[in-house]
Amino acid sequence: MTSDNKPTPKVSTQPAALPRSAYRVFRTITTRWMDNDVYGHVNNVVYYSWFDTAVNAHLIEQGVLDIHNGNTIGLVVETQCNYFAPLAFPQTIEAGIRVAHCGSSSVRYEVGLFAQGEALTAARGHFVHVYVNKETRRPQALPDSFVQVLETLS
């Protein structure tokens, strides 16, 4: 209640679709026949695969992640997704990427999934990578070149 005994207005914490302008970089992803489930749309587990694909492909292309010979790997420690509209084969998906937080060894990536040409996300979510030494699996500080690439996504 407010000081004049009126009910306190509720603030919506309901997740909402976001526009393309909320993201810094986009990657096109082609859906596959096997992505659809028995309900006729892309199964929820596929969205998480798209998150990984979009972010890691960008990092590889920027030359800061070497999945074959590098000493640093990213381990997912948290993930989440909200769904707003169905996606289905044979649609083309556009994944928007941004960095919401960058620590010394961890990064929170946010990804928005758009049906090709659509203005708002069909789904959006995040995952947190902790970057560790490939051998010891202990966190290690991100190199300056890696941080510079992440800054372009903030």
pLDDT, mean of residues 78-94: 97
CA 134, distance to chain mean position in Å, is 22
Task: Give the residue among 126, 139, 149, 136 at the shortest CA–CA distance from 65.
Answer: 149
Q: What is the pLDDT of residue 12?
A: 67
Q: What is the pLDDT of residue 13?
A: 82
In Å, how far are 104, 122, 124 from 131, measured between CA atoms?
9, 29, 23
Domain ranges of the chain: 21-151
Residue 58 has a CB neighbour count (10 Å cut-off) of 21
* pLDDT of residue 2 exceeding 70: no
Q: What is the pLDDT of residue 86?
A: 97
List the Cα angle 17/82/51 in 5-degree steps.
Answer: 100
Q: What is the pLDDT of residue 44?
A: 94
Under 8 Å between Cβ of 36 and 88: yes
What is the average pLDDT score of the chain?
A: 94
User: Is pTM beyond 0.85 here?
Assistant: yes
Residues 26-59 have pLDDT tens digits of 999 999 999 999 999 999 999 999 999 999 999 9
List the Cα angle 34/95/73 in 5-degree steps.
Answer: 90
Higher pLDDT, 16 or 8: 16
pLDDT-based confidence at 3, cuts 50/70/90? low
The CATH number of 21-151 is 3.10.129.10
pLDDT, mean of residues 80-105: 98
Residues 123-148 have pLDDT tens digits of 999 999 999 999 999 999 999 999 99
- How many Å apart are CA 88 and CA 2, to the nearest integer? 47
106-115 and 92-102 beta bridge pairing = antiparallel
Three-state DSSP at 108 gives strand
* pLDDT of residue 1 exceeding 70: no
